[in-house]
Chain A
Amino acid sequence: MFDKEKMSELARREAEWDEEVVQEWIKRVPERMERFSTSSGFEKRRLYTPNDVVGMDYQESLGFPGGYPFTRGLHATMYRGRLWTMRQFSGFGTAGESNRRFKYLLDEGETGLSVAFDFPTILGYDSDHPLSVGEVGVCGVAVSSLKDMEILFGGIPLDKVSTSMTINGPASVLLAMYTALGDAQGVPRDGLRGTTQNDMLKEFFAQNLCIFPPGPSVKLVTDIVEFCTRELPQWNPVSISGYHIREAGSTALQELAFTLANGVTYVESALERGLNVDDFAPRLSFFFAAHNDILEEVAKFRAARRIWAKLMKERFGARESRSMWMRMHVQTSGCALTAQQPVNNVIRVTMQTLAAVLGGAQSIHTNSFDEALALPSERAVRTALRTQQIVAHESGVADTIDPLGGAFSVEALTDEMEEGFWGYLDRIEKMGGVVRCIETGFFQREIADSSYEWQKEVERNERVVVGVNEYTSGDDWIPTRLLRVKQEAMGEQIEAVKRLKANRDKGKAQGALDRLRGDVEKDANLMPAIVEAVKAYITVGEVCDLFREMYGDYQELIVI
């Protein structure tokens, strides 16, 4: 791309500039740090020039938006045509309370729903289980049976919204409920749009919400991929997630590398199942974090798109463009928010949103500024949504496709990210693949080390966190209207689940459960039997109990 002679002339000039100008300058004005680095440990150079991207072949490395390798974006006109989906993750308390919150968000202009479930639901326990005490409806909405789902989506036509469900271990059960709800509303199955997170692998080393061991977990993920490929063509069966890996303390590069390694594992599993790559790959979606370091994050998003396109095309032989698309949802970083001077978080969220938009995200969730203190209040949720709207309509960054593309720094960082990825993938595969690395604690150790290192850097003041280790004076304005979940309402939920179990058609319920057990024994795809079971009001806990009995419980590998 660059003229060789001119480049060596440039290199000579740069060396000259460094020696004569920079070194002199530094003598008078020392730099703030000896070494500037990204979270991934890459050294940030003082200045980037064409010499840092001298090997770049424009067409090969970047291409045009909407074309291979999609570095600059998935769509021909990106946000000039349609803005990203503003999708705020929400859900708390009873299904009725969450239903009201959904309607509020839809009225406020949100374009997609996103459901947070409470811990009991996520871990496959009903609201009336002894382990659920004190946790029902606390971190998300309690859904034990199809009855709760009917209330949760009451008055919301499923053919008019797209719904993202953050659920992993019991993803098959919740997706079955959504399917059943669609059937009841008369919505054809190919009209259901949404996403189940259904990414079990990262649970074992990042989010830690595991129910069954890795083997059966990957089987269930693959059942959903197969079911969606055949029955729910507009549903994204898996959202391969780096968000939790990052929040657990990884660097940006580890987030990228471990997420894509998980993605490779799911693709291999689906191929082993006999699916055709171009039949399921277009529906695989991704979920990343956006942290504060804007350039590093943008480089991560761009590199991720390019790597996935290469993997799908070159390694898995995909032919359709859509199979090579890495569609990504991005959430701003929860762990970057501080409990100290919480209003400052509004600014952090803004930077992170900018990174996501400059990185070409398809949908974004912005965190609320009070999240380090409690569940977000309605006021803070509104500010978070407004942040996206301000970036969309007032910042101007959405008007040009990949506006940072071509910046020497961003291209150099993008290349470094990609190189770092291939290094990690190679290591992981040499160690026996993702499942093996989970069993040996490789990912767990990598993340724990990075997270500890970060903490130490903050404590040594090598990383400034405003309001935490610097600039700590001033008013600590604490929002007072924090959201509280009333435990009385939860008592009603617990009773309702007990009543449901006592009053449903027992013969039908038992029959459906028996069929499911039979399908587990036959190692069949379990989705059709689960759909039948939830229609008979078999609960999340009952399906998961059956699986726990047949597949076993996962025992956490403790790595500090």
Chain B
Amino acid sequence: MKVERKIRVLVAKPGLDSHDRGAKVVARALRDGGMEVIYTGLRQTPEQIVSAALQEDVDVLALSILSGAHLTLVPAVTQLMKERGLDDVLVLAGGVIPEEDLQILEEHGVAGIFGPGTPTGEIIEYIKGKLAERAGA
């Protein structure tokens, strides 16, 4: 019988931002949705986040930013991921991110961006769908 590996997700808070309500709610919802969730806690540098992603061998990295510093922090994280060969990790971003920035983040390798009011079920479906798509490809 094939034992299915649980989807492993790292929920991370980069930068000095302290708004963790969304990150915690999402972390708990993903866990309730059957995933293995690691939450970094607040104020992680891109270096710490990428190291954690590597160490924990995650399938998904979910970055939560509500401080407006996403255009600095997200590219810093994805750049490091590339350097460490973490190209196969699905990167998501959530928080307060103006629409006009969505494309910039996508260009930096963010697959999905979830703003305020997103139902957690939608994020779970998205992750499962994307990972299945990649596994099938």
Contacts and interface: CB of A to CB of B under 8 A. Distances in A.
B105 to A, nearest CB: 14
Most buried by A among B16, B20, B116: B16
A93 to B, nearest CB: 11
B16 A131 contact: yes
Interface stretch (A77-85, A158-166, A266-274, A369-377): A369-377
Interface stretch (A61-69, A322-330, A335-343): A335-343
Contacts of A131: 16, 43, 45
B28 A560 contact: yes
Interface residues of B, number: 34
Interface in B80-111: 96, 98-100
Overall SS of chain A's interface: loop
Interface stretch (A26-34, A49-57, A448-456): A448-456
B24 A451 contact: yes
A465 interface: yes
Contact of A135 (B20, B39, B67, B100): B67
Interface in A248-268: 248-249
Given A248-B21, A339-B116, A448-B24, A556 B72 contact: no
A120 B16 contact: yes
Nearest to A371: B96
B23 to A, nearest CB: 9
B44 to A, nearest CB: 11
Contacts of A133: 72
A24 interface: no
Most buried by B among A207, A208, A248, A249: A208
B27 interface: yes
A455 B29 contact: yes
Given A131-B43, A448-B28, A465-B117, 7 more contacts: A119-B16, A119-B18, A123-B16, A138-B68, A208-B18, A208-B42, A338-B116
Contacts of A248: 20-21
B102 to A, nearest CB: 12
B21 A373 contact: no
Nearest to A209: B18
A437 interface: no
Given A375-B68, A482-B98, A558 B117 contact: no
4 shortest A-B CB distances, which residue pairs?
A: A134-B72, A119-B16, A208-B18, A339-B116
Contacts of A132: 16
B119 to A, nearest CB: 5
A207 B42 CA distance: 11
19 contacts: A119-B16, A119-B18, A123-B43, A131-B16, A132-B16, A135-B15, A138-B69, A139-B68, A208-B18, A208-B20, A209-B18, A335-B21, A339-B116, A455-B25, A459-B120, A465-B117, A469-B119, A485-B68, A558-B39
A373 B29 CA distance: 23
B48 to A, nearest CB: 11
Q: How large is the interface on A (under 10, 10 to 19, 20 to 34, 35 or more residues)?
A: 35 or more
B69 A135 contact: yes
B121 interface: yes
Contact of A372 (B17, B39, B69, B96): B96
A459 B29 CA distance: 11
Contact of B21 (A209, A339, A451, A558): A451
B34 interface: no
Most buried by A among B20, B28, B42, B73: B20
Given A138-B69, A139-B68, A208-B18, A451 B25 contact: yes
B41 interface: yes
B115 interface: yes
A478 interface: yes
Contacts of A459: 119-121
Contacts of B69: 134-135, 138
B117 A340 contact: yes
Contact of B96 (A247, A374, A468, A487): A374
A138 B98 CA distance: 14
Contacts of B96: 339, 372-374
A487 B73 CA distance: 14
Interface string A114-136: 00000110110100000111110
A468 B117 contact: yes
B121 to A, nearest CB: 6
A375 B45 CA distance: 23
Contact of B98 (A123, A374, A560): A374
A119 B27 contact: no
Nearest to B100: A482
A338 B116 CA distance: 7
Interface in B4-30: 15-18, 20-21, 24-25, 27-29
Contacts of A465: 117
A339 B118 CA distance: 10
A338 B117 contact: yes
A533 B31 CA distance: 49
Contacts of B116: 338-339, 372
B80 to A, nearest CB: 14
Contacts of A120: 16
Contacts of B24: 448, 451-452, 560
Nearest to A334: B19
Contacts of A209: 18
Nearest to B72: A134
